[in-house]
Amino acid sequence: ARIIDRIKNELRIIDRKVAGIPQSERKRVIRLMGRDQVMTPGDDSFQNEYIRLAGGIPPRLGKDGNIAAVTKEEWMRFNPQVIYGCDGDRETAEKLFERPGWKDVEAVRNDKIFFFPCDLTCRASIRAGYFVSWLSAKIYEDEFSKKEEQVLKDQIFKSRKLDLDLDYIKDARISYSTIHDFLNKTLIIDFKEPLSLVSTLEGERRGIESIGNHYSSPPCWGIGHKLGLEEIRKRVYQAIGKSEDTASFLFTGADMDNLVIKKERFRDMEVYALVTAGVKSNAVRMSRDEGRFYKPGTINIIILPNMKLSPRAMTRAIISATEAKTAALQDLDIRSSYTPRIHQATGTGTDNIIVVGGNGIPVDNSGGHSKMGELIAKAVYGAVQEAVYRQNGIVARRNIFQRLGDRKISLFDLITSMRVEDDSDRKRLLWALEDVLLQPRYASFVESSFAISDDYERGLIADLSSHELSCKKVAGEIAGKEIANMKEVTETEDMPLVLRMTVNALLNGIYCRIK
């Protein structure tokens, strides 16, 4: 009953928000599907009902069912103003929306093409209200950005206490609020007296009475980008009762309910690290990936010592924390969102850190050779790894299918692009490939090739002859016989050389076995 009430309440709020938009100004919205051609759900689909609930106008093609083909004439006649799909539809969009006719609609011309997680777009679920809210906020971003059009007051409606055993902390809590009519969550830490700190978002600050980390839920993201950080900060501070003069907060899209608090101690010295982390959308390898945009931080770290750090120690703590964060990501093999087949990530493009000066015994060094630096690094390392797990479900010992997915390597795409004599063999090949990868020996072979590939791409390995021998041996084992001439059996031109060798070894083996 509680879940049903929540969904109804979310839908009720959206209904109130779009009620003021005249029918003549409602947007035409289509759900993109398909791989080789444009497809969309039928007129009677739940996806089209979602569009209507979000205040949009879905297409009426006179076709029912889970999926229906869309002709170019139907596409241009409907002339969608907003197109949305799941992450798996990006390739279709990139391929088809460069073609005449398909690109000549308002949504493509105005870059109103949005992608959402597959578990929201591809199935009806208990998150229906959440997705309809997010979709509606993307469709009517301009309208939802106007404060005068809100239906709820920006305010906190509940809080829960946190336990931080430090002399200078008066109160610590996570507060839940509505801002822009949508759920927001804020970590708020109030001090007993004003303190100094260093923030990578704001620089050095003095006389600070409150710090924190603010989470905006997905329906707020587009609104936030439109309004800008300064306006968002002002709105948040008004809602939670803080002043820009005496508060210093970070901002994130990682859920505050996934906050991790780690404490490290040596004798009388203690350090807390409070971390939220998400690495799915904009993980980068600094020095390799291109900087494309700015938005508030994705891995946010707050350092709270039980001693008084000098300005020198506060700034040096940023390096210790950053090095620990990068070590945590590399030990999880988090991949760059932009070059996942080649590079591990060193962070996300939007990370931020606050180091609080604290009070008590003075400390002037927090570098790698100091005990304070060691405690900061240990606390951050553990907190980052746990926060990544809570937010994204990623652990070091994840299965081979997840690790292939991390590198954007699709078994289906590999089999689809294989050069085979009979197309009916593809389903058998896919089953055989999955079966091979379920065997620990061959899964480990692929996992080993990941490490070899990364080192080869960095120039740490020059000769791949031993890996070539391993590939021939594995292919022969899978086939049940020696394969005299290994062939390039699938399209792998955009794959690093080592991974290309590995994939072709597996595919040569299974192809010879089933033939």
Q: Average pLDDT, whole number, for the chain? A: 92
According to the model, what pLDDT value does residue 456 have? Answer: 97
Report the pLDDT averaged over residues 89-95. 79
Q: Check pLDDT > 90 for residue 13.
A: yes
CATH topology of domain 1-145: Rossmann fold (3.40.50)
Q: Check pLDDT > 90 for residue 194.
A: yes
Q: Check pLDDT > 60 for residue 293.
A: no
Q: Are the beta carbons of 494 and 511 closer than 8 angstroms?
A: no
CATH topology of domain 155-392: L-amino peptidase D-ALA esterase/amidase (3.60.70)
According to the model, what pLDDT value does residue 297 have? Answer: 43
Locus of tokens 């087949």: 341
- Name the β-bridge partners of 155: 178
Annotated domain spans of the chain? 1-145, 155-392, 401-514
Q: What is the DSSP string of 54-85?
A: TT-B----S--SS-EE--HHHHHHH--SEEEE
Instruction: Read off the pLDDT band of 34 (50, 70, 90).
Output: confident
**Topology match between the domains 1-145 and 155-392:** no
According to the model, what pLDDT value does residue 287 have? Answer: 53
Per-residue pLDDT reduced to its tens digit, 408-462: 999 988 888 887 777 778 889 999 999 999 999 999 999 999 999 999 999 999 9
Listed range (141-150, 321-330, 456-465) with the worst mean pLDDT: 141-150
Residues whose CB falls within 8 Å of the CB of residue 158, separated by 6 or more in sequence, listed in order: 175, 176
According to the model, what pLDDT value does residue 171 have? Answer: 97
> Cα(3)–Cα(60) distance, rounded to whole angstroms?
31
> Cα(323)–Cα(199) distance, rounded to whole angstroms?
17
Axis crossing angle, helix 425-437 with helix 497-514, rounded to the nearest 10: 120
Distance set, CA 408 to CA 404, 468, 493 (Å): 6, 23, 14
Q: Check pLDDT > 90 for residue 96.
A: no
Distance set, CA 492 to CA 16, 421, 496 (Å): 50, 19, 8
Long-range Cβ pairs for the range 423-429 (8 Å, 24+): 425/514, 425/515, 428/514, 429/507, 429/510, 429/511, 429/514
> Cα(436)–Cα(194) distance, rounded to whole angstroms?
61
Report the pLDDT averaged over residues 325-346. 94
Residues whose CB falls within 8 Å of the CB of residue 375, separated by 6 or more in sequence, listed in order: 264, 265, 266, 269, 270, 271
Locus of tokens 């260093």: 198
Q: Check pLDDT > 80 for residue 511.
A: yes
Q: Check pLDDT > 90 for residue 257.
A: yes
447: enclosing H helix or E strand = helix 440-457
Query: Which pair of structure tokens corresponds to residue 321?
Result: 């924390």
Report the pLDDT averaged over residues 340-350. 92
Report the pLDDT averaged over residues 488-515. 89
Report the pLDDT averaged over residues 191-207. 97
According to the model, what pLDDT value does residue 294 have? Answer: 40
Closest by CA to 388, choosing from 245, 258, 248, is 258
According to the model, what pLDDT value does residue 98 have? Answer: 84
According to the model, what pLDDT value does residue 281 have? Answer: 73
Instruction: Read off the pLDDT band of 296 (50, 70, 90).
Output: very low
